[in-house]
Amino acid sequence: MKNRTKFVLVALALVCAMVGGYVGAATIGAATAENGTAAETVVVTSPFTQAVKDVRGSVVGVNNYQIVRYNNYGYGWGRGNETTRETKYASGSGVVVAEGYVLTNYHVVEGASTLKVAVQDENGENMREYDCTLAVYDTDLDVAVLYCPELDLPAVKLGDSDTLQVGDWAICIGNPISDEFYGTVTVGVVSALNRSISTSSTDRYGRRSSVTNTMIQVDADINSGNSGGGMFSVTGELMGIPTLKYTSSFYSSTSIDGINMCIPINVAKPLIEEAVNGGTDRADATQKGEPASQAEDEKAAESLLGKPRLGITIAGLNPSSYTIQMGLIPYGVYVSQVEENSPAEEAGMKQGDIIVEIDGKIVNTTSELQSAVANHGAGDTVTIKVFRAEGMVNAVENGGSIPEGGEYVELTVTLRVIDTLKQ
Residues belonging to the active site: 107, 142, 227
Residue 112 Cα to chain centre, angstroms: 12
The pair phi, psi for residue 162, each rounded to 5°, is -70, -15
Contact by Cβ (8 Å): 419, 297:
no
Distance CA 225, CA 222 (A): 8
Angle (deg, nearest 10), helices 294-302 and 366-374: 20
Helix, strand, coil proportions of the chain in percent (round to 5)? Answer: 25, 35, 40
Q: Tell which residue, 174, 171, 229, 223, has the closest CA to residue 51.
A: 171
Question: Which amino acid would we find at residue 151?
Answer: L
Contact by Cβ (8 Å): 232, 173:
yes
Distance CA 105, CA 141 (A): 9
Residue 242 Cα to chain centre, angstroms: 11
Hey, which bits of 99-126 come out as E strands? Answer: 101-104, 114-120
Collect all residues with Cβ–Cβ distance below 8 Å to 350 and sequence separation of at least 6: 335, 338, 388
List alpha helices for 326-409, DSSP H. Answer: 343-347, 366-374, 392-398
Distance CA 355, CA 384 (A): 7
Q: Tell which residue, 265, 272, 247, 228, has the closest CA to residue 108.
A: 228
Coil, helix or strand at residue 352: coil
Contact by Cβ (8 Å): 423, 313:
yes
Collect all residues with Cβ–Cβ distance below 8 Å to 199 and sequence separation of at least 6: 142, 210, 211, 212, 213, 244
Distance CA 57, CA 95 (A): 9
Contact by Cβ (8 Å): 139, 286:
no
